[in-house]
Amino acid sequence: MTDIETPEPAGTDQPTRAGFVALIGEPNAGKSTLLNRMVGAKVSIVTHKVQTTRARIRGIAMHGPAQIVFVDTPGIFRPRRRLDRSMVAAAWGGAADADIIVLLIEAHRGLTDGVRSIVDTLRERAGKTPVALAINKIDRVKAEELLALSQQLNAEYDFTRSFMISAEKGHGTGDLMDWLAAEVPAGPWLYPEDQIADLPMRMIAAEITREKLTLRLHEEIPYQLTVETEAWEEKPDGSARIDQIVYVTRPGHKGIVLGKGGETIKAVGQLARAELMEFMGRPVHLFLQVKLRENWLEERERYREMGLDFREGDPD
């Protein structure tokens, strides 16, 4: 990684602070929504389906003299396949590298077996790293239930701080941001002030397309497909041509992704293109192909493209 000249904050004499904050929790707890809320831009895909975040996605938020680098990890769950194991390993790897850990749980689900398992692992792995509790989706339960849940969780683990938030609506997220900005270590900023993510744009573009596919399709298919940006060409007029391949594992899935007369992949392409144009602030020409690759879930190269480690051992 090339060295980045450390920027100076404008208009303040306060010492700079910077650090990594890992967001962990069960699948669909709202980690990606919180990341996007904190950063103020869409850097992680958000869908109604679980396990959509596959790699650790870093979003960078500025808050006064503090730079907070959020690590949105895959949801922690009981792994069954090689991809599952790689995702869970990425989640705990993100937590291990962090200056602060935030455990996000859904208020209406409470202290599930999955949350208990995460708390047990935190006892083993967190060490002296501060761990904050963020109870999300607080609009779904009554105030007295929230208080009881907070007391129950704090009896299970010695959280440094507890927050009641709604990542979707923004309730309580300002208090969480204030605390994080004060808690990250003193030191120079790690990234330029105007950078919001450390993922390559090729990967962000692939994630945006995968989100549109996930929202459009149903059942098992989204977890058995991946999107790769095959080519990226900068045009003289300032636009970008992006060529992507959607890999599926079964012949029947190819037809489902394409849709009748290609209508599904066309609609996905239009939605992804529109979001890419908004994200990049310039014209985009997006071209999608769907290809069968039956064993992509067992190929090292595919995991590298997703930013995951290839986990050895039986896939099932």
Residues of the chain with pLDDT under 50: 1-11, 47-54, 75-79, 82-84, 88, 91-92, 220, 310, 314-316
Do 75 and 173 fall into the same domain?
A: yes
Do 43 and 149 fall into the same domain?
A: yes
Query: Considering 127, 150, 183, which residue would you say is the last residue of a domain?
Result: 183
Q: What is the pLDDT of residue 124?
A: 80
Do 34 and 177 fall into the same domain?
A: yes
3-state secondary structure of 72: strand
pLDDT digits (tens, 9 = 90+) for 153-166: 999 999 999 999 99
Domain containing 275 equals: 201-305
Phi, psi of 198 (to 5 degrees): -105, 10
- CA angle 237/243/244 to nearest 5° reads 145
Q: What CATH number is associated with residue 275?
A: 3.30.300.20
- What tokens were used for 303? 């995991």
Q: What is the pLDDT of residue 42?
A: 63
pTM score > 0.85 for this model?
Answer: no
pLDDT digits (tens, 9 = 90+) for 181-222: 999 999 998 877 766 665 567 778 888 898 888 888 865 455
Q: What is the pLDDT of residue 81?
A: 54
- What tokens were used for 206? 């692939």
What's the rounded Cα separation, in Å, for the pair 273 and 267?
10
Domain count within the chain: 2
Q: What is the pLDDT of residue 9?
A: 46
Q: What CATH number is associated with residue 159?
A: 3.40.50.300
- Beta-bridge partners for 69: 20, 60
Helices 201-216 & 263-280 angle (0-180, nearest 10): 140
